[in-house]
Each structure stands twice: as C-alpha cells, then as structure tokens.
A and B are shown apart, each in its own frame.
Chain A
Amino acid sequence: MISGVLASAFERPTTKDFVWSCWFGKSPWCYNFIFFLLTIVIVVFVLMFWFAFRQPKIVPGKYQYLVESGLEFVRQQVVLSMIGPEGLPFFALLATFFFFILLGNMLEITPFVMFPLNSRIAFPIVLAIISWVTYNVVGVRRHGAFGYLKLVMFPPGAPAWMYVLLAPIEFISVILVRPLTLSVRLFANMVAGHFLLAVFFLGSIALFTGIPYILGAVSFAMGMVLVGFELFVAVLQAFIFSVLSASYIAGAVATEH
C-alpha cells in the first residue's frame, strides 16, 4: 500500500543534511555553505543598523521606526524587566544576541536558503560561552571570587541542613549546566525545525508523484503551516536566549537582602 502511494523514493532527512562540503580552502579552515550563511547574516546585521541610524532623525521614518521598535522591545522586555536599570550596560550585548540569533534562525524559512545557521552547534556554543563568561565575570567583579561562590552555592532562605544537598547541585547547575542547556536548547530547536520542514516538503514531493495526488497537497499545506510555526519558534528562541542571559546576569549582580 505504502509503496504504491510512494511512487518515487522518499528521501528520509538525516543528520548528513547538516554537513556541507568545502567550496574553497582546506578541510578544517574552509569556506563552505555555512560560512556563506554567516557572511550573509553579518552583512545583513550591519546594513540593517547602518541604514536605520545613518542619519537618525528625531521624528523617525518608517524603517528607522521599525529598527528602533525592535531595540525598544529588547530594552523593555529583556533588559529592564529582567535586570532593571543597572542592566543597561549589557543592553548592547543582549541586543546583539537577540538580533544575531533572530537573523540566523530566519534563514530557516528564507526561500532558496532553508537552512538555519544555529542548527550547527558551533554558533550556539560560542554564544553560550560569551554569555557564561559575561555573567561569571560580572559576578566575580561585583562580589569577589568567594562572595560570588557563596552567592551561587548558598542561596539564602533554605534551612541549614539542606545546604549539604543544595550547594553541589547549585554549583553544577550554575557553572556547568547553564551554558549546556543554553546552547542545546537553541541548537536542538533549529535541528528539529529543519527536520520537520524537510519531512513535510520532501514528503509532498514524493506524494505528488504517487496515485492520490491529494495526499501531496495535504502534506504541502501542513508544511506551509509549519513554516509559520517555525517563524514563531525563530523569534521565541532569540527572545529566550537573550532573556535567559539577562536573568543569569541579574542573578550575578543581585545583592543579598
């Protein structure tokens, strides 16, 4: 039955879809499709802000207003609501996180590209390491090395005997697990999204060549719905990454009450 429906072979998406061969250069240091996407993201990122704020006006035009409202969203929802006014020095970092991840994720649903930059773990890991270094350095500078360790391992408000259990758990979760979850969350979301789109669009290609063409149409419609869903996921993951970085920084600058 199934082999009758699937007249042409259904190419199952695998993890090999994420490996690209070199365009030029030698194997570890070569320029391939992923580097090309990184170049696109950086150029778009720079041009986006350059065109918006080349000649900033007091009464902004349409485009300047669009970029300004994006920055205002990060300032209000990420910086001020998570850290407060003392988080404003980190506004540039968090806005860079937000827009870089957003542009990288948007490539997933850009026609003729359809490949999310952040589905290669290297990019989320570097971003998570930047975030990790930032909140640890901020905490050490604010509280001193021992003060910061005490703040991390002995959160106030627990009964004394609980600290035997709590101190190692808190240490592992703050120092080791946070950068891991931060990077794997972004990476796995993008990989899963790419697989979802690949299954439905490759499936619709395979089903359109089968006997009941309507199944291909159903699969294609589901794929289009998932493109909208992936747009939501792209924005949500950029937001969550910057918000969680902000909340980790907020935990590092917090003073004991």
Chain B
Amino acid sequence: MLGLVIHLGGLLAATQGTPIGKGLVYGLAAIGPGIGIGILMGKSVEAMARQPEAAGMVRSIMFIGIGLIEALALFGFVLSFIIT
C-alpha cells in the first residue's frame, strides 16, 4: 500500500505540468467515490429487493447519498482545471 502511494507520488511528480498530470488528478479523485457509489447502489438494491414497499424511501435517500459522494469526484474534476 505504502509502495503504491510512493509510486503514485513519483508518477504525479514526473507528470507535473503536463496534460497527463491533470488527467491523473481526476482519475485518482474518482477512485474513492467510485467505490463509494458502488457500495451505495449495491446496498440500496439489496434493501429494495428485500423490502419492495420501502423502495420509494430508499430511492430518495440513495439519490441524496449519490449527490454527497459525487461531490468528491467533482472536486477533483474542478481541481484538474485549476492546477497548471
């Protein structure tokens, strides 16, 4: 894990100022939210399948969760335009 972090740090340093570095910022920012939305959607589908009568409530809360998680990836997206 530590090796991976050091490797990524070296990669970011080597690609500093290039378009590849900008792309990496968004790509790295999308890893965590991707996992998070995957878990969120999986659990929501599970909950809706178990309790179909609660589907409406689960769906509206699911969209709120998607909105909250999605913001993290979008920060990376905005940051990739800000950095030079």
B residues 58-78 touching A (CB-CB < 8 Å): 60, 63-64, 66-68, 70-71, 74-75, 77-78
- Would you call A81 and B60 a contact (CB within 8 A)? yes
B32 to chain A, nearest CB (A): 15
- Would you call B64 and A185 a contact (CB within 8 A)? no
The range of chain A's interface size is: 10 to 19
- The listed residue (B63, B70, B81) touching A185 by CB distance below 8 A is B70
Residues of B within 8 A of A255 (CB): none
Closest residue of chain B to A239 (Cβ to Cβ) is: B63
Question: How many interface residues does B have (CB within 8 Å)?
Answer: 14
A135 to chain B, nearest CB (A): 16
Residues 67-102 of A, flagged 1 when their CB comes within 8 A of B and 0 if not, give 000000000010001000000000000000000000
Residues of A within 8 A of B (CB): 15, 77, 81, 181, 184-185, 187-189, 191-192, 236-237, 239-240, 243-244, 247
Residues of B within 8 A of A239 (CB): 63
Q: How many pairs, one residue from A and one from B, have CB atoms within 8 Å of each other in the complex?
A: 42
Main secondary structure of the interface of B (DSSP, over half): helix
Residues of B within 8 A of A (CB): 57, 60, 63-64, 66-68, 70-71, 74-75, 77-78, 81
Residues of A within 8 A of B70 (CB): 185, 189
- Would you call A243 and B63 a contact (CB within 8 A)? yes
12 contacts between A and B (CB under 8 A): A15-B81, A188-B75, A189-B70, A192-B77, A236-B63, A237-B67, A239-B63, A240-B63, A240-B66, A244-B64, A244-B67, A247-B64
